[in-house]
Amino acid sequence: MSARPWWQSAALYQIYPWSFQDSDGDGIGDLRGIENRLDYLVELGVDAIWLSPIFPSPMADFGYDVADYCGIDPRFGTLADFDSLLASAHSRGLKLLLDFVPNHSSDQHPWFVESRASRDNPKRDWYIWQDAAPDGGPPNNWISDFGGSAWTWDATTGQYYYHAFLKEQPDLNWRNPAVRAAMLDVLRFWFARGVDGFRIDVLWHIVKHAGFPDNPPNPDWDPATGEMNRVFQLHSTDQPEVHDIAADMRAIADAFGREGDDRVLIGEIYLPVERLMRYYGLAGEGVHLPFNFQLIDAPWNARGLARMIADYEAALPPGGWPNWVLGNHDRPRSATKRGRAQARVAAMLLLTLRGTPTLYYGDELGMENGHIPPERVRDPRELREPGLGLGRDPVRTPMPWDDSAQGGFTTGEPWLPLGGDWPRRNVAAELEDPASMLALHHALLRLRRMTPALARGSIRLIEADGDVLAYEREQDGERLVVALNLGSAPAPVTLPPGVALLSTLPGPPSDADPTLLRPDEGLILKVDTDA
């Protein structure tokens, strides 16, 4: 394995296949559409793409209910289409990652069809079945992440089965060695086909407490946050046995890796930092990158962010490589959460912190949450807990490519409506505007690729006051300072002598005053090492 794997200096780009590019007019994005847009991604400057699930599925949860782990859903194309996409990506120097969904399958997966057929079926123990409580109700108080009990009664066999999400998504029993072997073979199947890695869905969920005790109630539960938060998921997630499974996955990834061509595993894990770090493994035998989601929900406060960055860096185990995320297919878009001006500052933060950044499709345009009329809602979470603002449809709206009908996404009716400002905020328009969010991302990614200090260098926080967050990146004597004004007023800052390379505000960076950040400005300065 290479001493510095490719993913340490890479910028990743998440594609939600439903919404990226439709090639056949059915209103749903597909693999051929993605292949047709690869040159855009190369020009953008990302290094790898991650596809949300593309496997055969009834789509109760838009592909996170998998009915066949080794196929392609016809909505997206065929295995031949996938092979073509993979080859085209590789020919352009792009890596390709898939979404692995190991916690649960579809209730229409042949394994579950067999499992629920009878109590003595050979695959009965491939899923989690329990007798009713003495009162006939669910075995315990565990709650689905989508609200309601996480247990569903099966009248045919007279037991409950467990599902952390929808009842159409029964959880696999990873304590069964046969399940473990079958799912690890899925990784081998796709690695052998040439994929470069996986994002592992809800990795911290996949093992449950063997005794199924009640989860402790949350005394501070706010119903507005969703019913899942009514209890602490102490026994239904983050069990010690999960780390042995992660080690098995890591061994497979490492076995398929070659010098200069490592495979990577990225774990979706929503846990506090001190528990997140365990997923690196005690000696690097865990996933390569346990996703760090802190920026998504962090209060937009300079002093708080500085403490968060310092604490995260200090918590990393020896050899652990950091990573950062601003948004994804489940969470509000950065431009909606922070406003358009600060979304530019946030983009500079994401792409200049030490570690591997992941961009969510459309964030490079400054896409905001879309408006979804009630009759167009598709997300089961919104349908199950309406009115709480937990629905994910608004962050999954189609990518606008130009100002033609349906934004160039499809020639048909898009599966979700486009965002309201797509005639002005689209790829073609922003490519023509040197002050656009897309132009800023081009510049940031170009600078990151050309500058070892940004790609792999060390980080040192610089003491600052008020709304200013500042830090230095250094590699082999090359020093860059990043100074970010998280406020809407001018902010004084003390920076070393140097040359301004890039500002988030329009105009040449040489116009920036290194002693005073303008409102909503982020600045990258190359330090004069001779001064």
Which residue from 302, 346, 299, 291 is spatially nearest to 324, judged by alpha carbons? 291
Q: Which residues contact 20 (CB under 8 A, 6 or more apart)?
A: 29, 33, 34, 37, 361, 398, 399
CB atoms within 10 A of CB 382: 20
Which residue from 148, 187, 185, 186 is spatially nearest to 168, judged by alpha carbons? 148
> At residue 270, what is the residue type?
Y
Q: With beta carbons less than 8 A apart as the criterion, state whether 358 and 12 touch.
A: yes
Count of CA atoms in the C-beta half-sphere (13 A) of 159 = 16
Could you say which of 61, 196, 268, 472 is catalytic?
Answer: 268
Q: Which residues contact 298 (CB under 8 A, 6 or more apart)?
A: 304, 305, 308
- How far is 496 from 518, CA to CA, in rounded Å? 18
Per-residue CA distances from 397 to 17, 25, 285, 418 (Å): 11, 16, 37, 5
> Is 268 annotated in the active site?
yes
Q: Is 378 exposed, middle or buried (0-12, 13-18, 19+ CB in 10 A)?
A: middle
Q: What is the 3-state secondary structure (H, E, C) of 197-218?
A: EEEECCHHHCCCCCCCCCCCEC
- How far is 294 from 276, CA to CA, in rounded Å? 11
Could you say which of 99, 201, 363, 521 is catalytic?
Answer: 201
Q: With beta carbons less than 8 A apart as the criterion, state whether 99 and 52 touch.
A: yes
Radius of gyration of the chain (CA): 23
Is 228 strand, coil or helix? helix
- How far is 34 from 21, CA to CA, in rounded Å? 6
At 376, list the tokens. Answer: 């167009």
> Is 35 annotated in the active site?
no
- How far is 11 from 95, CA to CA, in rounded Å? 10
- Helix ranges (H only) for 413-493 are 427-431, 437-450, 452-455
Which residue from 259, 260, 215, 261 is spatially nearest to 236, judged by alpha carbons? 215
Which residue from 509, 265, 427, 360 is spatially nearest to 46, judged by alpha carbons? 360
Residue with tokens 């996986």: 198
- How far is 294 from 291, CA to CA, in rounded Å? 9
Residues in the chain: 531
Q: Which residues contact 218 (CB under 8 A, 6 or more apart)?
A: 229, 230, 231, 232
Q: Which residues contact 507 (CB under 8 A, 6 or more apart)?
A: none
Residues assigned a catalytic role: 201, 268
